[in-house]
């Protein structure tokens, strides 16, 4: 009985040691996976950003796309604006931030609007009309303005919004694809290297 008792204690001890080692390894592996999932790197498609974070990234000379719009949250939801853009960006494998300036600090938005107008002489202002802008070299640029076109996204958000009329509508979806192509062409023409 002495040998059997010692064998049982040794087996229990080895089992406990093995379980402890497995727990440590699984905890370490879980931490690494969680760190990767919670990284600050934006995902392909739409990523929400605050106005302050956008300004900080702009002032840090980062280069990225941002979809700017000014609309009530219920309009954004009913129009399926974000879902349509997100789907289109994912199809093109593009990472884009989005910013609803509706509830943003008006003075900050006005300052950015004036700063934008002073460097571009724009006919298409993303703060006034909404759309994809390219942030680079500490400024914002409108691919729509670059190509001499305009689309009033903010007005359209207010006009769209029944279950049968959303941004998945063929005509609006074509315009979304066109605006994405303008953005891609603009960054290529201007040799802008995105920083995310």
> CA 90, 93, 97: angle at the middle one, nearest 5?
70
Residue with tokens 């390894």: 25
Measured CA to CA, the distance from residue 151 to residue 146 in angstroms comes to 13
pLDDT tens over the chain, length 196 residues: 556 666 667 777 666 666 665 555 555 554 444 444 556 789 999 999 999 999 999 999 999 999 999 999 999 999 999 999 999 999 999 999 999 999 888 889 888 888 877 666 667 788 889 999 999 999 999 998 888 887 899 998 988 877 778 999 988 889 899 999 999 999 999 999 999 8
pTM: 0.77
Residue 25 has φ and ψ, to the nearest 5°, of -65, -40
Phi, psi dihedral angles at 98 (to 5 degrees): -130, 145
Measured between alpha carbons, how far is 92 from 75 in angstroms, rounded to an integer? 25
């Amino acid at each position: 009985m002495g040998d059997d008792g010692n064998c049982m204690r040794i087996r229990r001890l080895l089992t406990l040691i093995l379980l402890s080692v497995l727990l440590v390894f699984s905890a370490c592996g879980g931490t690494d996976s969680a760190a990767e999932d919670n990284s600050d790197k934006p995902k392909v498609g739409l990523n929400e950003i605050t106005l302050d974070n956008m300004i900080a990234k702009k002032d840090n000379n980062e280069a990225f796309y941002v979809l700017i719009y000014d609309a009530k949250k219920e309009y954004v939801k009913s129009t399926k604006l974000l879902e349509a853009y997100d789907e289109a960006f994912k199809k093109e494998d593009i990472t884009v931030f989005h910013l609803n300036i509706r509830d943003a600090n008006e003075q900050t938005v006005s300052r950015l609007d004036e700063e934008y107008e002073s460097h571009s002489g724009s006919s298409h202002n993303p703060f006034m009309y909404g759309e994809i802008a390219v942030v680079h070299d500490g400024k914002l640029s409108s691919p729509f303005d670059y190509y001499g076109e305009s689309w009033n996204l903010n007005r359209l958000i207010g006009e769209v919004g029944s279950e049968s009329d959303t941004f998945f509508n063929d005509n609006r979806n074509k315009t979304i694809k066109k605006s994405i192509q303008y953005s891609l062409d603009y960054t290529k023409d201007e040799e802008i290297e995105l920083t995310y």
